Amino acid sequence: MPLSEHEQKLLEQLEKQLHEDDPKFANSMGSDPGRSWSTRHVVIGVLGALAGVFLLLVGVTLQNIFVGVLGFVVMGGGVYFATMRSSSSGAKGAKSGTGKAGKQRSSFMSSLEERWDERRRGEP
């Protein structure tokens, strides 16, 4: 069941508020529209992960712990690099709205608190 227009607007407003209040958390959750998957990162990361698996197998075959651990580290780095997201807008977009966040936050939170109080008053 799709969201109504009102629900979509509320969801967009909440997402925008989250980006203004805590951009680091919002970026870690991956909801920032300015960040996208990079094909280059994915290809290089997969190649790195495959090289790491190869090194790991060579280390196990040669019974060399150092080569095996190095392979594991390279494999983990490749997976990490493949899952990184590149930002097209950069950090300037996230920091540009921080000056107004206090006023918007208080009015936004106060309106939510008022709605909550109205709902509580309506219940027996």
* Chain segment 38-67, per-residue pLDDT in tens: 788 889 999 999 999 999 999 999 999 999
Instruction: Please state, in angstroms and rounded to a whole number, the distance separating the CA atoms of residues 71 and 84.
Output: 20
Q: Regarding predicted confidence, which is higher, 83 or 98?
A: 83
Domain residue limits, the chain: 34-90
Q: Is the pTM of this model over 0.85?
A: no
Residue 109: closest CA among 8, 39, 17: 17
pLDDT at 33: 52
